[in-house]
Amino acid sequence: MIAIIDYGAGNIKSLQFALDKLKLESELTTDPQFIRDAKSIILPGVGAFKDAMDALNELDLVSVLKQEISAGKPILGICLGMQLFYEQGFEDGSWEGLGFLKGSVNRITDSVKVPHMGWNTLTQHQDSSLLHNLTDNPSVYFVHSYAVGGNLEKDTLVASAQYGGTIPAIVKKGNIVGMQFHPEKSGKTGIQLLKNYGGLIS
Amino acid sequence: MLAKRIIPCLDVDKGRVVKGKKFQNIQDVADPVELAKRYNEAGADELVFYDITASNEERDIFLDVVENVAKEIAIPFTVGGGIRTVDDIHKVLRSGADKVSINSAAVQNPEIIKEAALKFGSQCIVLSIDAKEVAANNWLVYINGGRKNTGIDAIEWAKRGENLGAGEIVINAIDADGEKNGYNIALTKAIADAVNIPIVASGGAGTIQHFADVLTEGAADAALAASVFHYEEISIPELKNYLESEAITVRSEIEWK
């Protein structure tokens, strides 16, 4: 069972439909015990950095997430969910993140249109089972105005996209996986990426 | 590289897809879920559903249609038509839509853009503008399905929409809509030059060359069309092959079934 943290107002139904197609059982939840019992956690992306951290704090989920992650439970962060894994976010101010990964979340340069919206190609940085069985030059759907940067640990970068610079697209450190794009909205490639993540947790 | 997007638009009335010419003479064409599946498989990059009568007749958005579409397809889609309140937006997003497009309600109450962008993020708030040329290079915003002139300058309105927090603009040229004589390149370019958010061109697609023109000369990030796709006058794979041959970056992957 995958616990999808239901802490906001965005579209998380599509994620659940995609997991259903892959026969990966999931449930939307904010229940700490359910999260402890699940074999994996997905932190989806909704709204703004501060609001999302506030919501996790209000639901008293920050300590649960920290405990489960340090115990080695696989977690997938999608879009803003991935950004929350970092130490600090600079979306409308400066806010503390979950701090699972080193780095910060900064606005995409204004030399390109912001948000970064649409299908962009992935460039592979290292061999990873997360990238198995993809087509050549796989495209995935991005929609975000902020991106991960700062003092990233280089060996956590699995794939990136080019948009006004290098945008970290897939990151992985041990049991922690982040996808900046929306795999549930990225057609065949996205479904394969979710399947590959499913392979890590079964 | 970021690809230019091809977006079939499905005008929905009472749960069926329809396509009118200049918003008149509406004809019934298909079931939205079936059409969405077909476009997904053909390689559409995104879909848009407009509840075309909602603005005038105060209809609720068809949330069950939205949910059924989300179940069937793994590409992003936008829902518009009759969105008036933050609660309307919330319901549509929770039903499985990725973005919400706001048209008349934003003109009547611009704060809704700001409020919604703060609550849900700019990335899911699309400002849809229906514009009509009233003098050379002078476009005014129309609302209520193109029936009412607001007197607002379309370019100024686009800039204001960006400042309020819209994450994307759909610019529909009312004069070109349904005519199949090409997009309004000048209008699209004027809007694209005025803002730094993605622009979707709408209204007037008739040939594959029209798409190429608006994505290059018109500086659009995406091109939206309805009837040429519904009536299978243009196939999406054929269109994308052509755009690729014209050195326009497109997503060429065949969709997952």
For B66-96, what is each residue's pLDDT tens digit?
999 999 898 999 999 888 899 989 988 988 9
Band (pLDDT 50/70/90 cuts) for residue A202 is confident
Interface test with chain A among B252, B256, B257, by most A beta carbons within 10 Å = B256
Residue B27 has pLDDT above 70, yes or no: no
What is the rounded CA–CA span in Å between residue A29 and residue A125?
A: 34
Band (pLDDT 50/70/90 cuts) for residue B17 is confident
- In which element (H, E) is residue B209 found? helix B208-216
Band (pLDDT 50/70/90 cuts) for residue A47 is confident
Chain B CB within 8 Å of residue A180 CB = no
Band (pLDDT 50/70/90 cuts) for residue B58 is very low
Q: Who contacts A82 (Cβ-Cβ below 8 Å, separation ≥6)?
A: A43, A45, A148, A171, A178, A179, A180
Residue A32 confidence (pLDDT): 96
Contact B76 A143 (CB under 8 A): yes
Interface test with chain B among A4, A7, A12, A14, by most B beta carbons within 10 Å = A14
Strand stretches in A36-138, DSSP E: 40-43, 75-78, 86-89, 95-96, 101-107, 116-121, 123-124
Interface test with chain B among A28, A51, A112, A139, by most B beta carbons within 10 Å = A139
B74, B121, B167 member nearest A190 (Cβ): B74
Q: Who contacts A103 (Cβ-Cβ below 8 Å, separation ≥6)?
A: A86, A87, A148, A149, A150, A151, A152, A153
Residue B20 has pLDDT above 70, yes or no: no
What is the rounded CA–CA span in Å between residue A43 and residue A49?
A: 13
* CATH architecture type of domain A2-201: 3-Layer(aba) Sandwich (3.40)
CA A100, A101, A107: angle at the middle one, nearest 5? 115
Of the candidates A68, A79, A116, A125, the residue annotated as catalytic is: A79
Query: Looking at chain B, which residue has its C-alpha nearest residue A187?
Result: B74
Residue A136 has pLDDT above 60, yes or no: yes
Q: What is the ipTM of this complex?
A: 0.91
A17, A47, A121 member nearest B121 (Cβ): A47
Q: In the annotation, is A132 catalytic?
A: no
B2, B97, B118 member nearest A118 (Cβ): B2
Tokens of B182: 């090409």
Q: Percent of chain B, pLDDT > 70?
A: 90
Tokens of A57: 């704090």
Q: Which domains does chain B have, with CATH numbers?
A: 5-245 (3.20.20.70)
Residue B23 has pLDDT above 50, yes or no: no
Q: Residues of A with CB below 8 A from B123's CB?
A: 115, 117, 143-145
Rg of chain A over Cα atoms, rounded to whole angstroms, equals 15
Q: Residues of B with CB below 8 A from A138's CB?
A: 253
Nearest to B99 by CA among B17, B168, B155, B32: B168
Residue B61 has pLDDT above 60, yes or no: no
Q: Residues of A with CB below 8 A from B1's CB?
A: 120-121, 162
Q: Where are the domains of chain A?
A: 2-201
B2, B90, B121 member nearest A48 (Cβ): B121
Contact A114 B45 (CB under 8 A): no
Band (pLDDT 50/70/90 cuts) for residue A34 is very high
Q: Percent of chain A, pLDDT > 70?
A: 99
Cβ atoms < 10 Å from Cβ of A85:
26
Residue A41 confidence (pLDDT): 98
Band (pLDDT 50/70/90 cuts) for residue A9 is low
